[in-house]
Amino acid sequence: MSGVLLHTIKAGDGVNFPQKGHTVRVHYEGRLEDGKKFDSSRDKGRIFSFRLGMGQVIEGWDIGVAQMSKGQIAKLTVPAMFGYGVEGYPPVIPRNATLTFEIELIDFSMA
């Protein structure tokens, strides 16, 4: 999995997996290595959508979400090289940060 780790919290349907180019709809919560939450779609009160495999999100998400099935909730551990890299995303994401995300794959469809 290229250093990106996926740990299932709640199994999905195990049948329906998104493909490159699909629009996926997720809820997520992102945390730094110290456990501090830096972002959450639930806190914003809206589902987050993006086209899978099209570079619209960090590479770790494209890798991890592609392995999830519809309805699955997973913890995704993303090393810096598949996240925000050596530079980070100041002031929110520090340099060389490994990030963890809890992601729920709600649904997906053709773009």
* C-alpha–C-alpha distance, residues 101 and 62, integer Å: 13
Q: With contact defined as beta carbons under 8 Å apart, do 16 and 105 qualify?
A: no
* C-alpha–C-alpha distance, residues 74 and 59, integer Å: 16
Count of CB atoms situated within 10 Å of the CB of 43: 9
Q: Is 17 a catalytic site residue? A: no
Q: With contact defined as beta carbons under 8 Å apart, do 75 and 7 qualify?
A: yes
Q: Is 89 a catalytic site residue? A: no
Which residue among the candidates 62, 82, 93, 101 is catalytic per the annotation? 101
Which residue among the candidates 48, 58, 62, 108 is catalytic per the annotation? 58
Which residue among the candidates 62, 84, 103, 108 is catalytic per the annotation? 84
Which residue among the candidates 39, 50, 73, 106 is catalytic per the annotation? 39
Q: Is 101 a catalytic site residue? A: yes
Which residue among the candidates 38, 47, 73, 106 is catalytic per the annotation? 38
Q: Is 84 a catalytic site residue? A: yes
Q: Is 82 a catalytic site residue? A: no
Q: Is 38 a catalytic site residue? A: yes
Q: Which residues are catalytic?
A: 28, 38-39, 58, 84, 101
